[in-house]
Structure 1
């Protein structure tokens, strides 16, 4: 029980199945082959030496494999968080590389502590706002971003624009700069990545492709012909040390760390939930806060920088067929081994081959089939999905997601503001009550309006509820009683109670009696607390619509008898 709650990765590894090892080994090697050059490149964004990017991979990947709940998610350097770390430490470091390294460690530790605090505070509910259309739109956006970002490596030049649109424009403007030998290597890599899984599905296509390209580049010295290769990587492991700082620096870093923690969690959680949905299991958002926080502490302890969910490496893991968290441990061990022993051959990895692998990973993230299904089911959610993709491409991951989530919440509020309602009746051949507007042959009880409101009655829709109920009564010329079916009213606030009391008083002034059926939960408790239940009396509160109709008929017959006697 303890392991399942706090160390789900370890608990899963203790139940490890032998048949998982081969695909996990292949996935681990493939992830390592991609993680190494990406980590080196992202270290340069922060302004750190290439080996620091590898430091940010090894211990965090092993820690997440034990603590994390996602079987697919790979953690590591992320472009968005690296850019934010650079923005946080560069003004304070003032060009001093050693100070950049020290401040990066401090901000990484702060990010880890904030994520852990959020997990303990059970702030994982934030992830509940990421609906499936938003998840699909996010992955589509990441996939397209990967495609645009890696095309330059395959074509043989560095794309200089920031963002999807500017990168694409820069790419189109520089098509005359294509390096044809680099393009040939990239296309050959793509061909291998497509052909190998079909012909030899058990082979790790990504690893084989990179290995072949590296061997060819080394044997023929392709760098002499203008083919970009990874270049020299210093060997060795980090020396653990705690950097010094002061109060002013901490104030600045705390503010930046909060933003980095937010981006880190959103990116990791979206990726983890997306791949978990693909494989049919759930992610505990509160625990993911803790797992990502501990992983960032591990990155800081190993002299690395802030990490997040690595979408491209997660996509490679999924593409190769990784089954468990062992993939992360294998990838971390391979990276450590390469850092110690194999930095010389790593220098010959062609950038075009890595670009080809990432192009395939990006293509695998794009889900057109689900877009078609969403379009059929809900046009609003389809456009929400498209907007998320456009937002991720246009303004960045976090702003794009925030825009989509805000629109989804506004749509929800609009739905609650004007929820569906119905005047109920009975149609031949249909069991239970029906909406008389949809069933023209439905019959009603003469003199009785049975009204249903299909959502909570709160401050922003209380007047709408009042208007709709009174309109329904006015349409029944001979109305003598109203039975409010409150089964769908999950809750009611002070404004809702006031509106309900006003409706009852308005009806009483017209000589119309009002009863309530199927009141329950917080709605019933508010009726009691407000005194409205006492004012109405138990004879006007019914456990079912049928009981309310029966009571109305008895009351109507009694009134008729009294009227007959009076005559």
Structure 2
């Protein structure tokens, strides 16, 4: 009996770590048909995209395939999303290339090893974030900032692929310089290379128009590859992928200066944050559509193990692939068995069918990358931000232009700092309200309605942020300013403690003591309403006197108002309604933000 219980407990813990395993163990056979169809569709989309992203990252085409197999299998076990497909992603590949290319100094082997090392570091950062449940830190990249970041990365990739589509090589590493030299580069156009790119684009568009459910990228790449093979275009100056080795990768440990590893630590952290946030946006949207929830820390852990698996299989960093996830969902994929089947099909191609990959034209892959990157561009969303929230629009534009003009990595770093500053601004300089009472006896914010009136001699103040050492002085200044602007003399100040006293801070308690002494000189009583037990303990710990005649602490706002002598007088004279013990909707909102 005890053994059975132990096994059951162990199984529950195992399922907590492996949500995908739990899904697969409860698999229903009627799902298989949909999962198989979705898996084949995902594979058809994943193959050309993985090869194209390998080119973007600067490694062999087969490395893109390596980056699909093991990570997909790992995520199928560790991930909590039923629809999400992990794999190479435009943003992650652009970041990898931006970091590693200058460090590799033109050495292909070192380039590959640095890619694997940075991928491994990215996985470690994700595991650390999951272990300490700090997935919330990644959310410093708010949606407006991420919108600007992805638009900037997409434009950078698109401009970079023009060299492959037109058949020349950029000499400048940065976007602005490339754009300035555009006329010179256009004069170097290789017309046969451009013709193959146009052919690829034409078949992609025709497939989308005539058979929207078919894998357009796969069909377009297949046609371009056949033409390249039949006409032997490689001998005519058309760049092709070249020989691709078959079979499983041979494990190799990185061999280079330790100093290069140090250069990868912070970029790997940036990559982990960008990958996680991009993945979570995709995972949450499809989870909401299909009626279930996902665990952010479990997803961070799954992403970490997937990237470590990618590094171990000689591949590069992966993230949530929105296009492949959309294909999975559109074809009725029910579980992570889709990832398992797709990974096995790609593995078979790696083992037995890599020879045709050698004839894939680089310009055709460039077209696929441009199309994939174009899906990241959302100018309409940026414009909607301008109308709804001008501050968010400004943040998005700053991030966008930073990525375009100072590079992907500095742009990401700036985006993280902007997100942090945005958070600190909200916490350090939050909004605040003065409360009054309406005709029904409910405490509400003044100014929202003419029916809400202040209570003579009483100032009820709410500060909508947790009080801590860096906003305590601002709180004091705002409260004193509110007292000074009152038309009637203030005898009592009631502070809504629930909205701002969230944790013990000696600096905050010292400020409250100073505020109390200052108000006492003006014959104003200070009352803290709410969190009575915590405040009494915190005052005692900080040495703040709460004896008779000093700071008063009440259980809640209603009680604090009812017990005031001047309120009782106003009530008896019919100048104020009876305060009802009903929670203020504004208060509910304020508390939910903590």
TM-score by length of 1: 0.81
Aligned to 1:548: 560
The Cα shift of 1:200 comes to 1.3
**Quick one: distance in 2 between partners of 1:174 and 1:298?**
40
Aligned to 1:274: 281
Give the 3-state SS of the residue equivalent to 2:515 in structure 1.
helix
The count of corresponding residues between Structure 1 and Structure 2 is 542
Aligned to 2:348: 337
* Cα distance, 1:524–1:422 mapped onto 2, change above 3 Å: farther
**Quick one: distance in 2 between partners of 1:113 and 1:422?**
44
Confirm or deny: 8 A CA contact 1:146 1:362 kept in the other structure: yes
Confirm or deny: 8 A CA contact 1:156 1:183 kept in the other structure: yes
* Cα distance, 1:440–1:468 mapped onto 2, change above 3 Å: farther
Aligned to 2:243: 232
Aligned to 1:372: 383
Aligned to 2:184: 173
What do residues 444-469 of structure 1 show as CA deviations (whole Å, max 9, x unaligned)?
32222233333233323323322332
Confirm or deny: 8 A CA contact 2:68 2:87 kept in the other structure: no
- Give the alignment partner of residue 266 of structure 2, picking from 250, 259, 275: 259
1:74 aligns with 2:87: yes
Aligned to 2:587: none
* Cα distance, 1:329–1:75 mapped onto 2, change above 3 Å: farther
* Cα distance, 1:537–1:328 mapped onto 2, change above 3 Å: farther
Aligned to 1:565: none
**Quick one: distance in 2 between partners of 1:449 and 1:87?**
62
1:517 aligns with 2:524: no
1:528-539 matches, cutoff 5 A: 529-530=541-542, 532=544, 534-536=546-548
**Quick one: distance in 2 between partners of 1:213 and 1:103?**
32
* Cα distance, 1:250–1:538 mapped onto 2, change above 3 Å: same
**Quick one: distance in 1 between partners of 2:441 and 2:199?**
65
1:206 aligns with 2:217: yes
Aligned to 1:563: none
Confirm or deny: 8 A CA contact 1:106 1:243 kept in the other structure: no
**Quick one: distance in 2 between partners of 1:466 and 1:524?**
20
**Quick one: distance in 1 between partners of 2:345 and 2:52?**
13
What do residues 227-273 of structure 1 show as CA deviations (whole Å, max 9, x unaligned)?
33222223333334x6597xxx6854653453353244124213312
Runs (5+) with no aligned partner, structure 2: 1-11, 573-594
Aligned to 2:483: 473
What do residues 379-399 of structure 1 show as CA deviations (whole Å, max 9, x unaligned)?
111221222222333334443
Aligned to 1:459: 469
1:498 aligns with 2:510: yes
Confirm or deny: 8 A CA contact 1:109 1:296 kept in the other structure: yes
* Cα distance, 1:158–1:275 mapped onto 2, change above 3 Å: farther
What do residues 345-384 of structure 1 show as CA deviations (whole Å, max 9, x unaligned)?
2222122222222222111112233323332332111221
**Quick one: distance in 2 between partners of 1:521 and 1:212?**
74
* Cα distance, 1:72–1:523 mapped onto 2, change above 3 Å: farther
1:75-94 matches, cutoff 5 A: 75=88, 78-81=93-96, 84=99, 90=104
Aligned-CA RMSD value: 3.8
1:348 aligns with 2:359: yes
Confirm or deny: 8 A CA contact 1:85 1:260 kept in the other structure: no
TM-score by length of 2: 0.78
**Quick one: distance in 2 between partners of 1:416 and 1:251?**
40
Give the 3-state SS of the residue equivalent to 2:40 in structure 1.
helix
**Quick one: distance in 2 between partners of 1:257 and 1:43?**
17
* Cα distance, 1:117–1:87 mapped onto 2, change above 3 Å: farther
**Quick one: distance in 2 between partners of 1:244 and 1:441?**
72
**Quick one: distance in 1 between partners of 2:159 and 2:298?**
33
1:128 aligns with 2:139: yes
Confirm or deny: 8 A CA contact 1:43 1:53 kept in the other structure: no
Confirm or deny: 8 A CA contact 2:123 2:272 kept in the other structure: no
The Cα shift of 1:22 comes to 1.7
* Cα distance, 1:362–1:82 mapped onto 2, change above 3 Å: closer
Aligned to 1:308: 317
The Cα shift of 1:300 comes to 4.5
* Cα distance, 1:480–1:244 mapped onto 2, change above 3 Å: closer
Confirm or deny: 8 A CA contact 1:72 1:272 kept in the other structure: no
Aligned to 2:44: 29
1:164 aligns with 2:175: yes
The Cα shift of 1:442 comes to 4.5
* Cα distance, 1:498–1:244 mapped onto 2, change above 3 Å: closer
Instruction: Select between 538-547 and 118-127 the one with higher mean Cα deviation.
Output: 538-547
Give the 3-state SS of the residue equivalent to 1:308 in structure 2.
coil
What do residues 276-306 of structure 1 show as CA deviations (whole Å, max 9, x unaligned)?
244245664443443344334434544x25x
